[in-house]
Amino acid sequence: MEFFLVMIAPHLILAAAVLGVFAWFGRRPASEEKE
Protein backbone atom coordinates (compact mmCIF):
# COMPACT_ATOMS: atom_id res chain seq x y z
CA MET A 1 0.00 0.00 0.00
CA GLU A 2 2.94 2.33 0.70
CA PHE A 3 4.27 1.84 -2.82
CA PHE A 4 0.83 2.74 -4.17
CA LEU A 5 0.81 5.99 -2.16
CA VAL A 6 4.36 6.78 -3.24
CA MET A 7 3.34 6.36 -6.88
CA ILE A 8 0.06 8.25 -6.44
CA ALA A 9 1.41 11.17 -4.39
CA PRO A 10 3.35 12.79 -7.28
CA HIS A 11 0.32 12.36 -9.55
CA LEU A 12 -1.89 14.16 -7.03
CA ILE A 13 0.62 17.00 -6.73
CA LEU A 14 0.91 17.24 -10.51
CA ALA A 15 -2.87 17.19 -10.91
CA ALA A 16 -3.24 19.94 -8.31
CA ALA A 17 -0.55 22.03 -10.01
CA VAL A 18 -2.12 21.54 -13.45
CA LEU A 19 -5.55 22.44 -12.09
CA GLY A 20 -4.17 25.53 -10.37
CA VAL A 21 -2.34 26.70 -13.49
CA PHE A 22 -5.41 25.94 -15.62
CA ALA A 23 -7.65 27.97 -13.30
CA TRP A 24 -5.08 30.79 -13.03
CA PHE A 25 -4.41 31.08 -16.79
CA GLY A 26 -7.98 30.15 -17.70
CA ARG A 27 -9.59 32.93 -15.69
CA ARG A 28 -7.19 35.85 -16.17
CA PRO A 29 -6.85 36.03 -19.99
CA ALA A 30 -10.54 35.16 -20.37
CA SER A 31 -11.43 38.51 -18.80
CA GLU A 32 -8.42 40.59 -19.82
CA GLU A 33 -7.76 39.29 -23.33
CA LYS A 34 -11.30 39.51 -24.68
CA GLU A 35 -11.08 41.54 -27.87
- Residue 11 belongs to a domain: yes
Mean pLDDT of 1-29: 89
- Residue 7 belongs to a domain: yes
Tell me the residue range of the domain where 10 lies: 1-30
- Residue 21 belongs to a domain: yes
| Number of compact structural domains in the chain | 1
Quick one: pLDDT at residue 8?
94
12 or 34, greater pLDDT: 12
Question: What does pLDDT average to over the chain?
Answer: 83
Residue 19 in this model has a pLDDT that exceeds 70:
yes
- Residue 13 belongs to a domain: yes
CA 21/CA 15 separation, integer angstroms? 10
- Residue 35 belongs to a domain: no
- Mapped onto helix, strand or coil, the DSSP state of residue 9 is helix
Mean pLDDT of 11-28: 90
Residue 13 in this model has a pLDDT that exceeds 70:
yes
